[in-house]
Amino acid sequence: MDKIKNSKILITGGAGFIGSNLADALIEDNEIVIVDDLSMGKIENLPQSTHLHFFEHSITDEEFMNRLLLNWKFDYIFLLAAVASVADTIVRPIETHEVNQNANLSILEIIRVNQLPVKKILFASSAAVYGNMPELPKREESNVDPQSPYAIDKYATERFTINYGKLYGIPTVATRFFNVYGPKQNPNSPYSGVLSLISNAIKTDGMFSVFGDGEQTRDFVYINDVIQALNLLMLSDQTLFQVYNVATSKVTSLNQVINNFEAISGKKLKVKYVSDRLGDIKNSYADISKIRSVGYKPQISILEGLRKYWDFLVDENEGNLK
Give the interface with ligand NAD as residue ranges (CB under 6 A): 12-13, 15-19, 35-41, 58-60, 80-84, 99, 124, 126, 177, 179-180, 186, 193
Closest approach, Cβ 193 to ligand UD1, in A, equals 4
* 18 contributes a contact to ligand UD1 by CB under 6 A: no
Query: What span, in angstroms and rounded, lies between the C-alpha atoms of 241 and 78?
Result: 15
The interface partner of residue 197, options being ligand UD1, ligand NAD, none and the CB cut-off 5 to 8 Å by kind, is: ligand UD1
Dihedral of CA 84/94/145/244: which sign?
negative
Q: Identify any residues that bridge with 176 across adjacent strands, giving them in sequence order.
A: 125, 245
Q: How far apart are CA 224 and CA 118, in angstroms?
A: 25
Cα gap 36→229, rounded to integer Å: 22
For the CB of residue 141, give the shortest distance to ligand UD1 in the complex, in Å: 18
Q: Where are the alpha helices (DSSP H) in the chain?
A: 17-26, 62-72, 86-91, 93-97, 104-113, 149-168, 194-204, 223-235, 254-265, 289-292, 302-316
- Alpha-helical (H) ranges within 27-103 are 62-72, 86-91, 93-97
Q: Indicate which single residue of 128, 223, 291, 302 sits in contact with ligand UD1 (rule: CB under 6 A).
A: 128
| Site track 188-227 with ligand UD1 (rule: CB under 6 A), x = hit | ---xxxx--x-----------xxx----x-x---------
Select from ligand UD1, ligand NAD, none the partner in contact with residue 308, using the beta carbon and a kind-dependent cut-off of 5 to 8 Å: none
Pairing mode, strands 217-218 and 252-253: antiparallel
Q: Which one of ligand UD1, ligand NAD, none is in contact with 39 (Cβ closer than 5 to 8 A by kind)?
A: ligand NAD
Q: Is 209 helix (H, G, I), strand (E, B) or coil?
A: strand
Cα–Cα distance measured from residue 89 to residue 261, given in angstroms and rounded to the nearest whole number:
28
For ligand UD1 (CB under 6 A), the number of binding residues is 23
Closest approach of ligand NAD to the CB of residue 60, in Å = 5
User: Cα 305 to chain center, whole Å?
Assistant: 16
Q: How far is the CB of 151 from ligand NAD (least distance, A)?
A: 10
Q: Does residue 254 touch ligand UD1 according to CB under 6 A? A: yes
Distance of CA 286 to the CA centre of its chain: 15
Other beta carbons less than 10 A from residue 84's beta carbon: 28
Q: Which does 81 bind (CB under 5 to 8 A by kind): ligand UD1, ligand NAD, none?
A: ligand NAD
253 makes contact, choosing from ligand NAD, ligand UD1, none, with CB < 5 to 8 Å by partner type, with: none
3-state secondary structure of 283: strand
* Distance in Å, CB of 68 to ligand UD1, minimum: 25
What is the closest distance, in whole angstroms, from the C-beta atom of residue 48 to ligand UD1 in the complex?
26
What is the closest distance, in whole angstroms, from the C-beta atom of residue 208 to ligand UD1 in the complex? 6
Q: Which of 37/225 has CB closer to ligand NAD? A: 37
Under the binding rule (CB under 6 A), the answer on residue 148 touching ligand UD1 is no
From ligand NAD, ligand UD1, none, interface partner of 228 (C-beta below 5 to 8 A by class): none
CB of residue 268 vs ligand NAD: minimum separation in angstroms? 26
Q: Alpha carbon of 265 to those of 57, 181, 260, 279: distances in Å?
A: 38, 16, 9, 31
| From the list ligand NAD, ligand UD1, none, partner contacted by residue 35 (C-beta under 5 to 8 A by kind) | ligand NAD
